[in-house]
Amino acid sequence: MAKARSSFVCQNCGAATNRWQGRCDACGDWNTIVEESRSPPTASRLARGRAFDLEGLAGESRPAPRAVTGIDEFDRVTGGGFVPGSVVLLGGEPGIGKSTLLIQACANLALRGDRVIYISGEEAAAQVRLRAARLGLAHAPVELAAATQVEDILATCGAGRQAALVVIDSIQTMHTQTADSSPGTVTQVRASAQSLLRYAKLSGAIVILVGHVTKDGQVAGPRVVEHMVDAVLSFEGDGAHHFRILRASKNRFGATGEIGVFEMTGRGLAEVANPSALFLAGRDALAPGAAVLAGMEGQRPLLLEIQALVAPSSLGTPRRAVVGFDQSRLAMILAVLETRGGLKFAAHDVYLNVAGGLRADEPAADLAAAAALVSSLCGAPLPPEQVYFGEIGLSGAVRPITHTGLRLKEAGKLGFRSAALPQAQQTNNEDRSAGVALFPCPHVEALICEIARRSTRRPKETPNAPPVEPKPGRP
């Protein structure tokens, strides 16, 4: 009989090593490597397979049917609803509202007559009932159980009427008899997910797996689980704010990058039909250092406020603090403003913040961030009814970006009357009909000159004030 061997697997990233070590070489985390047994191949595993039929690429293909939850923001992120037979991985920090969102979706489907099963591996059934009663959904015919054995769960789901939706909360608490390691390990998570995936494909039921996230925001457990499932959704939010964002990082049946915005209320999660108005609520339009970005999240336009504060520093190395923006991107923008625009930030602390807790990762946010920085340095408020979008190159030129029409329509819908955009940006008649005046910005110098004209500071109070006119020879 072959002897069982063991390997040492990182519980954060799934990397395997031949010996134990305190720090994982793949992800860099400490004390995450656990010894797991690896069963040798048996005679049944080495048996020859049987041939199956192959099909060609030509043939009729029909759109996959969808199971609509009735929560428009949820259905938007999933691509119009869940596809039967699909497996979805939902990740998020503890207490962010994952279980609340899933109970609301389960209740909507169950009230329409579908069989919905909710399996809780962390909470008792009484705790889930209390949450449902608080949300006013105790009357929904959702079938509930507290279990962690995968084989028992599959036998229960297979008995009786075909289930339309099965929720597993969470995958890290599940364990299967096919793996010898303890629950929560990489081997158990992978084996449990594989069994649930096989059940979804054979039965046509929708399976939602809830996953914990690590300190860096990644779904805990092996990354191979993300490749096994059909969609990966992340539920994000800031504890200091009352809204939550559902984001699709992978979706085989829809577009990636889509987001849904929810507001946490006493009655659960409420949809936000106009997230741009939410993110701009309470902004001080007359304060220096505040610019409105006409951004995009997936196929959805969003208006965000980018706030900057440039203050004199008493430190030898000035601070660069960023919230919701890329640190290296800010360093590049500051270098371009100093080298190409003649500004001086070396003796100032720079703070950049995206109001509302959302991240602005797209290159189109460069122009809005630069406008906020220059406005704060000069003490000049920006036009309150103007939005900014455009990518800044290392030469100082403002480069064109995509989805101009969607950005302008969203800005016009919220009452903005002008937009600063790249000069080379192609616009058509439909874009111009949004009621937004266009102000092309070819170079960062043009942006600096326009903001400097609005400055109320005297030159002696601002020794590093930018020149009012562009340098000779600059187009």
Least confident of 41-45, 291-295, 337-341, 380-384: 41-45
CA dihedral 67, 70, 74, 77 (to 10 degrees): 60
More confident residue, 80 or 473: 80
| Confidence (pLDDT) at 474 | 47
Contact between 119 and 168 (Cβ < 8 Å): yes
Three-class SS of residue 76? Answer: helix
Q: Average pLDDT, stretch 26-51?
A: 71
Three-class SS of residue 474? Answer: coil
Longest dimension (CA), the chain: 88
Q: Residue 130 above 50 pLDDT? A: yes
375-424: per-residue pLDDT in tens? 999 999 999 999 999 999 999 999 999 989 899 999 999 999 999 999 88
- In the chain, the amino acid numbered 145 is A
Domain ranges of the chain: 5-38, 72-272, 278-461
What's the pTM?
A: 0.77
Q: CB atoms < 10 A from the CB of 415, how many?
A: 11
Give me the CATH code for the 278-461 domain, please. Answer: 3.30.230.10
Q: Strand pairing of 5-10 and 437-441?
A: unpaired
Round the CA-based radius of gyration of the chain to a whole number and report it. Answer: 27
Residue 475's pLDDT band (cuts 50, 70, 90):
very low
287-307: per-residue pLDDT in tens? 999 999 999 987 889 999 999
The tokens for 338 are 């100093």
422-434: per-residue pLDDT in tens? 988 766 655 565 6
Distance of CA 20 to the CA centre of its chain: 34
Q: Average pLDDT, stretch 131-154?
A: 94
Question: What gap in Å lies between CA 174 and CA 275, rounded to an integer?
Answer: 36
Classified by CATH at the fold level, domain 72-272 comes out as Rossmann fold (3.40.50)
Tallying the residues shown for the chain, one arrives at 475
